[in-house]
Structure formats: structure tokens, C-alpha cells
Structure 1
């Protein structure tokens, strides 16, 4: 979406009364997804399972619904729905203050596609390949992987890719909504059986099997930003990589290894700090003893 359209959307958000800014943003994105979905599907989005699942974000403001419908109607020809990323709009509507409070950082597409390019050079895939993003956020990795598979393996049907090959996990329920809607728009499918779950990758029982590829951008959360009870759980489960002032992202390397198939590959974005940090010594040892590093 261009900047002028985003500015108009922000004006509509600002006029909604009685709610915090983030709730208003989520509501307006829900409405926009609804309008775009309805423009390409016979059945209205409000009758679908995904809308009912995320109806908690619906503030039911009739005036706002009318304004968004009018705005999307005027700009319908300027929006390429099949390449629309709801998470990109979410990013554009949040201020720096909100982004900081949410602790959500989305990965630039250039970095994602570089990672995919390098990963698929060393890892062949077929219709039986299972791929997991354990902190999927707004679905950027999942969508780009979908596009890569469709382009390079046209023999694999789009529904098979999203229902059997792609898996995502995130602790934030609105991020799950963004991921699902992004895949709906890019695939053109309207009744997908998603394997995208609102769970804590590190703590919850997942029961989703093992994977050929685990890829993503785990959250960097230092000891100062972790709650006492959560840190205690992590200390108990991940003591061989996580202790004292270590970063939560270190735990993803151990959990990832547990969910990786024998010939699987992990590709994570991480800070270079772990290579020298005092409290990353256990992680360095774990990587050395459990992984073969591909360069």
C-alpha cells in the first residue's frame, strides 16, 4: 500500500474512541482483510472459520466499518491482493513506541530470501518435506517459502504446500492471524487447514512431529526483560544452553535440535554476540557437540 493510503487508514484509526491504539490497529487490519477477502471470494469472510476464530479483535464500530469499506472500494485497483502482506501493513501502522512495547521485530525480505537461497542450495526438498518457523510472527518466512516452492516445484500443488509442508508457531495470537491471512491472499485459497499454532515454542507440548527444515528469527530477549517464573522454567528445561544472564534465543537451538530430523537443517538469525558472550559459553559448546555448521 502506498503512503497516502496508509495515512488515510491512520486517520480512521485515530477517530476510533474508547480503545488503546494497538487494539484499534488490529481492528482496522481485520476490517481491511475482510474487504480484500470479500473482493476475491464468493462467501463473505465473516462467515468463515478464520474470522470467527479472531472475532475478538472486532470492535464492532459501524462507522469505522463503513469508512474502511469505502476506502478499500476506492483503492481496489491499486492493491495487488495476491501479493498483499497484512503484516507489512501492521508494521506501517504501528509507531516506534508500540513496536517497542510489543517487542516484535519483523525480518527484512532481503535477509529472508538470502537465507532461503543459501538453505535450498544445501537442502533438497520434495512434497514430503516439513518446514517449521518456530517464531513465525506475521508470516514473512512462511510466505516466502511458499513462493519459493511454487516457483521451483510447480508440480507440488499450492494446497499441499500450505497444509502439509508449512508449519508455524508464535506466542502472539494476532501474529498468527496475520500469518494465516497472508497465506490466504498469496495462495488464493479460502479454506486452508493451517498448521500454524498460537503456542510457546519453548514451553508448550507441541506434538507436531519432526522437521526437515527449521528456519526463522528467534526473539532476542535478555535476562532483564524476562519474568522470574518464565526464566525459572527455561533454566529447568534448557540448563545446557541457558543460565544466569543468557538470551532466550539460545533455547531455540536446543529445542530446534529436538525437533529436527536426522538429516535436517536449521537456519536461524542470531546476533554475533553469542560467539563471545560470557553467558553464551554453554550454547557454543552445545552447537559444537550437536551441529555440523554449513558455510
Structure 2
């Protein structure tokens, strides 16, 4: 009787090789299912282009173009050969500002999402696994944060803590973790009811082993899909805070560009080239993340699988 994991012309594969092969097969199945989601593929291409643009910002636009003292254009000049997207109120290139603003907007959105997902995953996993008074406190805390208007809380916290990139990231994470906690806790309770968890407990598996080796791997796919949908919310929140004048005044983001355009009278001056590029950039990146997130959710959630739209 031959071993199913042996090659016809070689020794039996090692457990590590088998694990790598299973991961490759799983990744191939995932990509085959994801490619059927046409909107998801479109969003992935668009998102890749935006990330590439942000990474190549130093190559596409000199950092000196952000300096007010080195600006060479006129005040709110319309698009021209030298300035394809016109200039701002100080004569800086709107194209350079938009390209460099993509870096901060993406960094804040991604970092705040990672922090929020980390907090929500830890609280949801532990509260679902241990239960009792700890779960009651975690649920009441998440309920409180879900009921509170996130933007209002973020404005209040920034007014107290001060304006900086680190503060903005922390504040956005604090108002965004509650939904992940609810999702992870519900999935944890579902996984814990499965037979293999009962066998693991019967064999003497401790809490750490159960959570990290059995529960977390089953929870992570939904967490990933949820995180992808949380990034555009974080970017919109950062843009709204910056537009309200609560962003770091020493850095450039899409929201801060809109804030300066509004305060400098771009609307009354009909300087559409100052308002449209950062607004469209926010719309594109949010749409790309939403399309990718919905596609991931459809692939990872069997109940939503099937449509390629």
C-alpha cells in the first residue's frame, strides 16, 4: 500500500514541504475564485496603480515642489504645460501636492486600520473564548464606541491631544475598532462549537494553543476582508479631519489640500483644478478599497460566493 504523500521517483515529502504545497494550492484556489470577481480585479489594478504612484512620488515630483518659498508659479494659475493641474494659492504645483499627498493619506489609512484591527481582534478573540465578566465588559465597551459618532469623537480627541500624524492615526484607530471586535467574537463563538476544538480541549490544549492554532486561523480571512473595507473609512475620516483644519499643518495630505483650497477661496475663484484632483484621488482610492474588500468578502464567505460582479 503506497503512501499518498510520496512521489513516484523520490523519498516521502517532509511535513514542511507538504505544508508549503497545501499553502500554494490554497493560494491558487483563492486567486482562481478572486479572478471571477470582475469588480475586485478592477479595484486591485486601480489600487496597485495608486500605491505605485505613492511609492514613486520622489521620482515623479521633486520634494522641493512642496516648499512655499521655492514656488515659482502664479496664484491659482489654471492648468498649463508647466503645471498640468495648475497651481495653488502660493504657486505650488497641484499635481505635485496630489502625488505627495497620496503617501500620507495611504499611510494614515493603513496604519490606523492595522491598529484598529489589532485591538478589535484581540478583544473579540479573548472575549469570545473566555466569556464571563470579561466578555460583558468588552461588549459594553464596543457598544459604547459603536453608538458614539466617530467623527465627533475624533474631533474632540484631536482638539484635546493636539494635531499630529501620530495623534490622527491613534484617534482614527480608537473610533474604528468596535466593529471588528463584534465580528471576531461572533466568529470565535462559531469556531469554538466545532468538534475539533472539543478534541483539542480533551487532549489538554491550553487557552493559548486553542486561540492561536485553531481559532485565529479560522477568524483571519474574515478579519482581512473587514480590514480592507475599514481602510477607506479611515482615509475618509483623515480627509474630513484635515479638511476641518485638524490635521498636521506641517504635512501634505489630500484632506489638507482641500482645506487650503477652501480657506484660500478656490470655490469663489472657480479654481476647479485646485479642488478636483485631491477630491477625485480620495474617491478613486476609496472606491478601489471598497471593490477589493467586497470581492474578498464574496470569496471568503461561502454564502456570498458565486457572483462574478
Which structure dedicates a bigger proportion of its chain to helix? 2
Which structure dedicates a bigger proportion of its chain to strand? 1
Largest Rg, 1 or 2: 2
Query: What TM-score does the superposition give when structure 2 sets the normalisation length?
Result: 0.23
Determine which structure has greater relative contact order: mean sequence separation of CA pairs < 8 Å that are 6+ residues apart, divided by chain length. 2
Query: What TM-score does the superposition give when structure 1 sets the normalisation length?
Result: 0.24
